[in-house]
Chain A
Amino acid sequence: MAIEVRIPTILRTYTDGAKQVEGTGSTLGELLTDLEQRHGGLRDRLIDNGGGLRRFVNVYLNDEDVRFLSGLDTPVKDGDTVTVLPAVAGGAL
Chain B
Amino acid sequence: MLTISRSLYDKIVAHARADHPDEACGVIAGPAGSDRPERFIAMMNAERSPTFYRFDSAEQFRVWREMDDKDEEPVVIYHSHTATEAYPSRTDISYASEPQAHYVLVSTRDEDTTEFRSFRITDGVVTEEPVTVVE
Q: Contact residues of A with B, CB < 8 Å?
A: 8-10, 56, 58, 60, 63, 65, 67, 83, 85-93
Contacts and interface: CB of A to CB of B under 8 A. Distances in A.
A87 B97 CA distance: 8
Contacts of A91: 23, 47, 49, 51-53, 79, 81, 89, 91-92
For chain B, the bracket of interface size reads 35 or more
A9 B52 contact: no
Contact of A65 (B61, B84, B88, B93): B61
Contacts of A90: 52-53, 79, 88-89, 91-93, 95-96
A59 to B, nearest CB: 9
B82 interface: yes
Q: Is the contact region of chain B dominated by helix, strand, or loop, or is it mixed?
A: mixed
B124 interface: no
A56 B57 contact: no
A85 B84 CA distance: 28
B53 A93 contact: no
Given A63-B61, A83-B61, A88 B55 contact: yes
B54 interface: yes
B98 interface: yes
Contacts of B90: 93
Given A9-B100, A88-B60, A93 B51 contact: yes
A86 B97 contact: yes
